[in-house]
């Protein structure tokens, strides 16, 4: 039995088994890494307090927008080209590495020389250069780890990802013991990320030694031209996650930024769910590019599966917002419970839009996503300008909800031009199970039952009612589990 499991998890035998294995490792790497880092985030937010945590969150959000351009889709291009022909991987690696380092230097100089004229928070300006450097190192680490994707060895990437986050957590805890400041936390992140980068490049030592020898100037234009569609989609995600925090800092106190940043950290953890779940459907979609009916069936199955998860998450987030903020971050952050309730309304559109985006990529219609990016950026900025001065962090949360609904509606419109499909087939079963769960949670709240018990009991009730109703998404989940068992 152990030999079969080992073979399934670490060997590429058949195309179906390889897809299942890689999907498992992508999910495992994301889930375990984010859960590990969540421990440090919860502890840091508690010991730093809203003001210092707000300073850290603001600096991280601002730096993330700049360092995004260090990659801007380059990793995806290298993976795609290398998977087609592994013999070109070293030339692509060397050229892309040089591009990234040059971008890193340019971004760092811009942050040091230009950004201080536009940021008026002294505490943030102290952190910003070091945070940019740390995120740049992390970008190089991710680039090294991503090379394993072309070899379809996602277990290597997952291992590096988990190891990096373990190092970050250990270094972060030690740094906070030495000094309970945002600057100390950034140093902890930098040390952990640097260790992860060393391990990421260890399997590719020969590539690193021959960077300048294998550098191909002729590939620069080709890499940059191919990367910008992927980069535009990444830009959308970065702006949606970080702009609200930055604009909140323009109008409100750094403490309020800290409260909002705490909620966003939980959302960052949960938003990983649709990413790795929808990725499991992508290979099948890509194969059905000429089969409209087959594409429709796969899309509807995926939407049913994601709806099964997103709807109860929304209900639980609205009902248990105060309890979740209290358990994770402590009493000081319960003032952000309203923000958590509002932001929970993004779960369903975020989950569904991830699936719609994958469908457009599978159809080679990724250029259709440029309007999606534009709508998202403009609507988010305009809504923030209108709502944050009125309602502060609650306005920022409402802006995120409205922007997400708008761009998800656009994706539906674009995709339905390609083929027709149903979004909420048999959704009444999910809604009925969610209502049953919500009723139980209300009773448990009145009885003041422990939060963990409420979540466990509520989840059990939801699954039980869904099972009784024979909800199709639940059947799909069971089929996937049985398929993995057979592959093993």
Residue range 403-438, pLDDT digits in tens: 999 999 999 999 999 889 998 877 899 999 999 999
**DSSP annotation of 335:** G
**For residue 383, is pLDDT > 90?**
yes
End-to-end CA distance of the chain: 9
Task: Give Cα 443 to chain centroid, integer Å.
Answer: 33
Q: Are 229 and 369 in contact (CB under 8 A)?
A: yes
Q: Are 58 and 121 in contact (CB under 8 A)?
A: yes
Task: At 253, list the tokens.
Answer: 């106190």
21-30, 351-360, 451-460, 465-474: which is most confident: 451-460
> Residue 236's pLDDT is what?
66
Q: Which of 139, 162, 187 is nearest to 27 (CA)?
A: 162
Rounded Cα distance between 95 and 77, Å, is: 12
**For residue 237, is pLDDT > 70?**
no
Rounded Cα distance between 488 and 318, Å, is: 39
CB neighbour list of residue 68: distance below 8 Å, 6 or more residues apart: 231, 234, 235, 238
**For residue 19, is pLDDT > 80?**
no
Helix (H) or strand (E) holding 105: helix 89-113
Q: Are 191 and 171 in contact (CB under 8 A)?
A: yes
Please, which pLDDT band fits residue 83 given cuts at 50, 70 and 90?
low
Q: Which of 46, 28, 1 is nearest to 332 (CA)?
A: 46
Any idea what the Cα angle at residue 164 is, between residues 161 and 168, rounded to 5°?
Answer: 135
Task: At 125, list the tokens.
Answer: 């300006």
Q: How many CA atoms lie within 13 A of 74 on its CB side?
A: 28
Rounded Cα distance between 189 and 176, Å, is: 11
Average pLDDT, the chain: 86
Q: Comparing 228-237, 306-315, 418-427, which segment has the lowest mean pLDDT? A: 228-237
What's the predicted TM-score (pTM) here?
0.85
Compute CA distances 428 → 87, 264, 307, 319, 471, whole Å.
52, 30, 11, 20, 9
User: Quick check: helix, strand or coil at residue 231?
Assistant: helix
Q: Residue 457 class from Cβ within 10 Å (0-12 exposed, 13-18 middle, 19+ buried)?
A: middle
> Residue 16's pLDDT is what?
61
Q: Comparing 59-73, 91-105, 172-186, 279-293, which segment has the lowest mean pLDDT? A: 279-293
Q: Residue 148 class from Cβ within 10 Å (0-12 exposed, 13-18 middle, 19+ buried)?
A: buried
Rounded mean pLDDT, 107-113: 89
**DSSP annotation of 280:** T
The model's pLDDT over 150-182, given as tens digits with 9 standing for 90+, comes to 666 778 888 888 999 999 999 999 999 999 999
Rounded Cα distance between 270 and 266, Å, is: 6
Task: At 210, list the tokens.
Answer: 């021959």
Q: Are 156 and 180 in contact (CB under 8 A)?
A: no
> Residue 342's pLDDT is what?
98
**For residue 484, is pLDDT > 60?**
no
What is the radius of gyration, based on Cα positions, of the chain?
23
User: Quick check: helix, strand or coil at residue 11?
Assistant: coil
Please, which pLDDT band fits residue 139 given cuts at 50, 70 and 90?
confident
Q: Which of 20, 23, 22, 21 is nearest to 276 (CA)?
A: 23
Please, which pLDDT band fits residue 479 given cuts at 50, 70 and 90?
low
> Residue 1's pLDDT is what?
63
Dump the DSSP string for 24-74. HHHHHHHHHHHHHHHHHHHHHHHHHHHHHHHHHHHHHHHHHHHHHHHHTTH
User: Quick check: helix, strand or coil at residue 199?
Assistant: helix
Task: At 323, list the tokens.
Answer: 């309890």
């Amino acid at each position: 039995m152990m030999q079969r499991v080992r073979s399934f998890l670490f060997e590429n035998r058949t195309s179906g088994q390889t897809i299942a294995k890689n999907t498992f490792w992508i999910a495992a790497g994301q889930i375990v890494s984010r859960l590990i880092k969540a421990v440090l985030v919860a502890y840091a937010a508690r010991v730093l307090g809203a003001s210092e945590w707000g300073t850290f969150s603001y600096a991280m959000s601002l730096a993330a927008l700049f360092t995004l351009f260090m990659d801007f889709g380059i990793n995806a291009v290298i993976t795609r080209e290398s998977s087609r022909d592994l013999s070109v991987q070293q030339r692509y690696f060397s050229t892309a590495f040089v591009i990234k380092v040059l971008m890193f230097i340019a971004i760092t100089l811009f942050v040091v020389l230009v950004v201080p004229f536009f940021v008026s928070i002294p505490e943030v300006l102290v952190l910003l250069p070091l945070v940019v450097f740390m995120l740049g190192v992390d970008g190089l680490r991710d680039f090294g780890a991503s090379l394993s994707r072309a070899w379809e060895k996602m277990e290597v990437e997952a291992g590096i990802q988990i190891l990096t986050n373990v190092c970050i957590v250990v270094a972060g805890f030690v740094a906070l013991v030495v000094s309970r400041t945002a600057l100390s936390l950034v140093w902890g992140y930098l040390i952990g990320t640097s260790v992860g980068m060393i391990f990421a490049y260890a399997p590719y030592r020969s590539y690193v030694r021959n960077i300048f020898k294998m550098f191909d100037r002729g590939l620069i234009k080709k890499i940059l031209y191919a990367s910008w569609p992927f980069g535009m989609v990444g830009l959308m995600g970065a702006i949606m996650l970080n702009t609200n925090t930055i604009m909140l800092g323009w109008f409100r106190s750094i403490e309020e930024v800290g409260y909002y940043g705490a909620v966003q950290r939980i959302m960052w953890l949960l938003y990983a769910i649709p990413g790795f779940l929808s990725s499991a459907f992508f290979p099948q979609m890509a194969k059905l590019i000429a089969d409209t009916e087959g594409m429709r069936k796969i899309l509807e199955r995926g939407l049913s599966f994601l709806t099964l998860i997103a709807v109860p998450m929304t209900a639980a987030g609205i009902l248990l917002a105060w309890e979740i903020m209290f358990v994770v971050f402590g009493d000081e952050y319960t003032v952000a419970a309203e923000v958590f309730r509002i932001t929970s309304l993004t779960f369903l559109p975020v989950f569904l839009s991830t699936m719609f985006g994958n469908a457009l990529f599978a159809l080679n219609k990724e250029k259709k996503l440029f309007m999606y990016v534009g709508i998202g950026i403009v609507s988010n900025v305009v809504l923030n300008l209108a709502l944050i001065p009125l309602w502060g962090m609650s306005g920022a949360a409402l802006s995120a909800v409205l922007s997400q609904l708008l761009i998800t509606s656009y994706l539906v419109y674009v995709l339905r031009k390609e083929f027709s499909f149903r979004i909420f087939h048999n959704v009444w079963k999910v809604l009925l199970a969610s209502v049953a769960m919500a009723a139980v949670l209300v009773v448990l709240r009145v009885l003041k039952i422990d939060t963990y018990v409420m979540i466990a009991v509520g989840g059990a009730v939801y699954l039980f009612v869904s099972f009784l109703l024979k909800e199709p998404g639940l059947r799909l989940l069971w089929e996937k589990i049985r398929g993995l068992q057979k592959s093993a």
